[in-house]
Amino acid sequence: MNCCGLLTPGKEPVPLKSIKVELEVRDHVATVVSTLLYENKEDKPIEAVFVFPLPGDAAVCHFSAVIGQTQIVAEVKEKQQAREEYDDALSSGQQAFLLEESDQSPDIFSLSVGSLPQGESASIRLEYVTELAVQADDGLRFCLPAVLNPRYQPQGSEGASVQVTSVPASLVPYSLSFSARVSCPRPISKVESSSSLDPLQYLNAEKTQATVKLAAGHKFDRDVELLIYYTDAHQPTAVVESGQASAKPGTLMGDPVVMVSLYPEFPQSVMSSVASCGEFIFLLDRSGSMDCPINNSNQQETRIASARDTLLLLLKSLPMGCYFNIYSFGSSYEHIFPKSVEYSETTMEEALKKVEQMAADLGGTEILEPLKHIYSQPCILNQPRQLFVFTDGEVWNTKEILQLVTRNSGSHRCFSFGIGEGASTALINGLAKNGGGHAQFISGADRMQPKVMQSLRFSLQPAVVDISVMWDLPKGVSATVLSPPITAIFQGQRSLVYAQLTGQSSEAAEGCVKVKYNLAGHPSQSQVNFSLKPAEDTGLTVHRLGARSLIRSLEVEQKDGEKVDEGLRKKVVELSVQSGVSSAYTAFIAVNKSNKETIQGPLVRRNVPAPRMMSAPVPQRFHECYLYGPPEPEFGEMMDDADMYLSSDADLAAALEKTSEEVEKPKPASSSRTTSFFSNFKKKVRAFLKPRETSLKTDDADCHHSSKLNETGLPERPPRDPLLQLVSLQKASGCWLLDAALAAALGKTSEEVEKPKPASVNQEVWATILALIWLHGFKIDAKEEWELLAMKAVSWIHAQNAPLVTECVEAGNALLGCSVQKDSLGL
């Protein structure tokens, strides 16, 4: 078999040899061109099928193939028609190419390369455009999804699941090269990445243009993420793009389209205050894949462990008087309280005890049912509902979930967090967009806590209401908005508006767009003036993004569970075909009609594997179970999840980087696949796996979970971070108690902590001031994580009318070896 070139673990040849990606970023819009090189080294014609991820909000706008000297450009057609043309071409011996979006999730595409003759090569070109999301530190985030984790589909659910052929990231049999060109009217200050980059090369003295490349030897163990930083990033902008010369005026592609980018800034008085009410519901993924390391640089910190720590910070930072509840889900779901309860010392402590016990032990990833249960609960009067969703996003029914969130968007705001490589961008971004909240991705070396706490700050801001967009245009020119209505505005976050401009005006004419809204009872507005003269060299990027925005809005209108609205479907198909942008109801089809020779012989299907993060990390107890079949009943739920990652004996062997023979050989002769294996053969299997554990390196390409096991067979938890240790001792009211646990967290003895306290000062006041000094003195770099709970502590101290605060701060500084000023503590 080695004569056939690259092989999958199933010993099938892989015809995909390389992927070349060229990225062009202009301000906050990215154009991505991917070239996929296929080569058939077999002695028979093949059909290569590659299922891979793309950003969920990308507008795929070009698909073509080059075979020899012939280029074939694909057309967008109704999906069923495109499939039939593809099948007809193959059955008549013609070459054909089909690119289509998954029916379940808009961030998964399938590329079929049909009738590639023996010895033949084909170069496939795929192009898409996408907006770049703004991060908490004002960086623009571009992500090239490289990792496609299997999507969990529960047994008995309707609809065909996306068939993903995947291998451990270290075994991906094709190469990736990546280069980027960045340009902006403002200087580019830096470009960062979780992957290794060659140095940034500036192309001009103004530093408004630059190029960067992925360093050689990139491993397919992570998505390729770029963070691009401009100076003065928060400048509102508007770009007008000319219509397509060949398109009819009055149509979307024939008229100019404007893209407006606004950055509303709120008054400091509003930003410095936080709400003291709200119903906070936290929904945590506890599927088996959450037991994987959050990134490759720290194999010990799992996703579920990071989520537990984050929930600790969240619970300590909630305001007194609010309501809260915590749900967790896998194949089933649980909740800590039957309904949301008032936040108090008692309810907080009860919740924390249960959070501490949470493990990634609930099987698959079924988020729909817990969401339905949450939405079925009546909202609490004068307590705005804020939903926080934490998941690694491996769900199959993304569209159904987003439709549910949309239907309930008027009753809550949804803040979503995609954890780890391969999280579904369509799901995470869609939850926030449809739920009027904010989305965050935690990948690479990111820490979850600062991103989540930023979203908590957003949720504590007053909701912006009565949002309207007003256009002031020259006489005879009108604007038709293409993007969905703006439902959420947050401090410093960008709001994008696309509009088709119909009518004639002079190029010297100007227009203005205003976004009006009400914030904390005060009418406010943001506006940008712009020239109607079209920008140069934008191609049709703005038109395609506008068309994509309108297509997505129409698709969301399709009611969940109902028969497809034919009028709506027809409208989407017409818009998709006209704009050349993909949709749920269309596909790209290309047939090589110039090749007069029919291709002889039956086609052999070759599934091109996508890299997956979760190969052997499936927690060690999964491996032990999976070697010889499900053991004890308690592991039944886990097996549902494990089946996604290890679907055959050969797959398991590949995940463990062993041959099938090496895996089979040490199995005790009397053990069948149905034996209650865990209790009888645990030691032998651990002995077999141990060499693999000890050989792990921190940069190992696969997502292995190699933590030590305690006596119960569960991973031991590492010692708690000093910051979290101190935070865990804070009371719901905001104060700390003066006790041995606090002394230990401060690195002192009880006697050392108690001795310098001024005699007339309350013990809790003294303890709380010490905790605040320690946070400011030793953890100022993590201030965004503890700032809200520190504000609560300061409010508590003020409420006590405590004497001698200045003396306490001086004594506390002397004790802890700090020099924190009283003013910087907020006292």
421/441 Cα distance (integer angstroms): 9
Lowest mean pLDDT among 289-303, 406-420, 737-751: 289-303
More confident residue, 71 or 558: 71
Rounded Cα–Cα distance for residues 633 and 631 (Å): 7
Which pairing describes strands 16-26 and 510-519: parallel, antiparallel, or unpaired?
unpaired
Q: What is the mean pLDDT of residues 117-146?
A: 88
CA distance 23 to 25: 6
Q: Is the pLDDT of residue 585 over 80?
A: yes
β-strand partners of 592: 95
95: its two tokens: 């070459």
Per-residue pLDDT of 427-440, as tens digits, reads 999 999 888 888 98
Q: Is 512 exposed, middle or buried (0-12, 13-18, 19+ CB in 10 A)?
A: middle
Res 694 pLDDT > 80 = no
Q: How confident is the model at residue 744 (pLDDT cuts 50, 70, 90)?
A: very high
Identify residue 547 by its one-letter amino acid code. Answer: A
Give 715's DSSP letter: B
In this structure, the dihedral spanned by the alpha carbons of residues 214, 219, 223 and 227, taken in order and rounded to 10 degrees, is -30
Is 593 or 754 the better-scoring residue by pLDDT?
754
Q: How far is CA 787 from the centre of its chain?
A: 25
Per-residue confidence (pLDDT) for residue 685, from 0 to 100: 41
Q: What is the mean pLDDT of residues 621-628?
A: 33
C-beta of residue 315 within 8 angstroms of C-beta of residue 730: no
Rounded distance, CA 449 to CA 617, Å? 23
pLDDT for position 555: 84
* pLDDT surpasses 90 at 393: no
Question: What Å distances lie between residue 625 and 19, 299, 395, 620, 685, CA to CA?
Answer: 36, 22, 23, 9, 10
> Which pLDDT tens digit goes with each residue over 531-548?
998 887 778 999 999 999
**pLDDT for position 108:** 86
Calpha distance 62→79 (Å, rounded): 16
Q: Which two tokens stand for residue 114?
A: 């049909």
| Residue 785 region by backbone torsions, left for phi larger than 0, else alpha for psi between -120 and 50, else beta | alpha
* Pair of tokens at residue 35: 């070239």
Element (H, E) at 598: none
**Whole-number pLDDT of residue 670:** 52
Q: Which band of pLDDT confidence, cut at 50, 70 and 90, is reported for residue 621? A: very low
Write the CB contacts of 293 (distance below 8 Å, at least 6 apart in sequence): 299, 300, 301, 302, 303, 617, 703, 704, 705
* Residue 772 Cα distances to 228, 320, 743, 761, 797, angstroms: 35, 19, 14, 16, 11
Inter-CA distances, 299 with 291, 601, 691, 700, 707, Å: 11, 49, 17, 9, 8
Residue of 695 and 810 predicted with greater confidence: 810
Question: Where does the pLDDT of residue 651 fall: very low under 50, low under 70, confident under 90, or very high at 90 and above?
Answer: very low
Q: What is the pLDDT of residue 763?
A: 94
Rounded Cα distance, 581 and 587, in Å: 9
Q: Compute the distance between CA of residue 432 and CA of residue 449 in angstroms, rounded to an integer.
A: 18
Q: What digits encode the pLDDT tens for the residues 171-198? A: 788 888 999 999 998 899 999 987 888 9
Q: How many CB atoms lie within 10 A of CB 645?
A: 27
Residue 517 CA to residue 225 CA, distance in Å, equals 34
**How big is the chain by its Cα radius of gyration, in Å?**
28
Read off the tokens for 394.
């491996």
Please report the domains of the chain, with CATH numbers, ordered by start residue: 2-148+165-232+580-595 (2.60.40), 237-269+464-579 (2.60.40), 275-460 (3.40.50.410), 618-694 (no CATH), 722-825 (no CATH)
The answer to whether residues 280 and 237 touch, using CB atoms and an 8 Å cutoff, is: no
> Taking a C-beta distance cutoff of 8 angstroms, is the pair 322, 355 a contact?
no
Per the structure block, which two tokens stand in for 399? 């569209």
> From CA 718, how far away is CA 7, in angstroms rounded?
39
Q: Enumerate residues 6+ apart whose C-beta is below 8 A from 744.
A: 725
Q: Give dist(CA 669, CA 745) in Å, integer.
A: 53
Q: Report the C-alpha gap between 758 and 737 in whole angstroms.
A: 16
Which pTM value belongs to this model?
0.77
> Given a cut of 60, is residue 24 above it in pLDDT?
yes
3-class SS of residue 215: coil
Measuring CA to CA, which residue among 554, 553, 552 is closest to residue 568? 554
d(CA 93, CA 601): 9
The band of 161, judged by pLDDT with boundaries at 50, 70 and 90, is low
Amino acid at 489: I
- Of all residues in the chain, the percent with pLDDT exceeding 90 is 43
CA distance 106 to 582: 10
φ and ψ of 660, to 5 deg:
-60, -40
The pLDDT score that the predictor gives to residue 11 is: 67
Q: Is 708 helix (H, G, I), strand (E, B) or coil?
A: coil
Using CA atoms, how far apart are residues 46 and 113, in angstroms rounded to an integer?
8
**Of residues 213, 223, 165, the one with CA closest to residue 20:** 213
- pLDDT value, residue 472: 94
Taking only the tens place, the pLDDT of each residue in 405-416 is 988 988 899 999
317: pLDDT confidence band, cut at 50, 70 and 90?
very high
* Local structure of residue 712 (DSSP, 8 states): T
- Local structure of residue 595 (DSSP, 8 states): -
How many percent of the chain have pLDDT more than 70? 80
| Cα atoms in the Cβ-side hemisphere of radius 13 Å centred on 493 | 20
**Owner of token pair 């965050």:** 440
Is 20 a residue whose pLDDT tops 80?
yes
Q: Band of the pLDDT at 262, cuts 50, 70, 90?
A: confident
Q: Rounded to an integer, what distance in angstroms lies between the CA atom of residue 194 and that of residue 442?
A: 11
Does position 601 have pLDDT exceeding 70, yes or no? no
pLDDT over 90 at 448, yes or no: no
Q: Which amino acid is at 425?
A: T
Residue 772 is inside which H or E element, if any?
helix 763-778
Q: Amino acid identity of 596?
A: K
Q: Measured between alpha carbons, how far is 626 from 619 in angstroms, rounded to an integer?
A: 11
The answer, yes or no, to whether residue 265 has pLDDT greater than 80, is: no
- The region of weakest confidence among 6-15, 268-277, 374-383, 431-440 is 6-15
- Other CB atoms within 10 A of residue 729 CB: 16
Ranked by mean pLDDT, the top range of 525-529, 618-622, 714-718 is 525-529
- Distance CA(757)–CA(809), nearest Å, equals 10
pLDDT at 145: 84
Tell me how crowded residue 546 is: count the other CB atoms within 10 A of its CB: 29
Mean pLDDT of the chain: 81
For 130, 201, 727, the CA distances from 357, given in Å and listed in that order, are 41, 49, 18
Q: What is the pLDDT of residue 667?
A: 67
Q: How far does the chain reach from its first CA to its final CA, in angstroms? A: 74
Task: Identify the H or E element spanning 11.
Answer: none
